[in-house]
Amino acid sequence: MEAAGVEPKSSVFDKLGLRWMLRLISSSIGRKFVMGLTGLGLCGFLVAHLAGNLFLYVGAEKFNGYAHGLHEQEWLPLAEAGLFVLFLLHIYLAFVTTFENKAARTTAYAKKETKIRGNIFSNPPSSWMFISGAVVLGFLIVHLIDMKFALRPDVKYLDEHDLAAPFANTTAVLKTPLTAIVYVIGTIFLGFHLSHGFSSAFQSLGLNHPKYTPLIKILGIIFAIVIAAGFCSLPIMAFTNNLPTQ
């Protein structure tokens, strides 16, 4: 007999043609695979997002041109919807995987954990993935409030149809002391999350090999540093009035 509530959920997946996804995330291996896939997808988004934000260093005209050109693209709503699904799926799988790992802890592991209690930094990066991910999620929500929805009460936003709005609104947010602190902390946690998550994603996809795994781990650390440093530099430069205005 099927458990109550399973059939409606399954029927929704059937109507959307996503029953294969339901079967995939129903197994532990499948969930890890999808989590790795969504993780790499989000890494790709970070690269594209940072590349666009770096136009701030070129000046207001270039950044405004980039921003308005991007928002005029017909495919943008579809891309944003797909990105939203990636985030939701990645977050959901992070919660499920974390609770599964906790439930699977053995007595031997508990004894080992007791021996190192009091020295939290002796734990491997993987044990901090959920914590760093939670901080990044909070940072993302703040970022959406600041930039996407323009809801910061302490910032005077220009109308989004104003040609000067993208640069003016972005720098107005980044110049505030609160933003400088929150964004720097948020990007540091993002870098930490990526430093382990990048290589872990390849392992989840089964793309690990004794010959290449060490290189992937090094590339993951470099990738994390570049992304974190790139994003971290923007609020610092804006707060210190070192971004070009023309």
Q: How far apart are CA 100 and CA 89, in angstroms?
A: 16
Please state the pTM of the whole predicted model. 0.84
DSSP 212: T
Per-residue pLDDT of 66-101, as tens digits, reads 999 999 999 999 999 999 999 999 999 998 888 877
Query: Of how many residues is the chain composed?
Result: 246
pLDDT band at 13 (very low <50, low <70, confident <90, very high): low
Per-residue pLDDT of 125-139, as tens digits, reads 556 888 999 999 999
Closest CA to 223 of 36, 43, 33: 43
Domains in the chain, start-ordered, CATH in brackets?
23-239 (1.20.1300.10)
Tokens representing 91? 């977050």
Per-residue pLDDT of 42-67, as tens digits, reads 999 999 999 999 999 999 999 999 99
Q: How far apart are CA 6 and CA 3, in angstroms?
A: 6
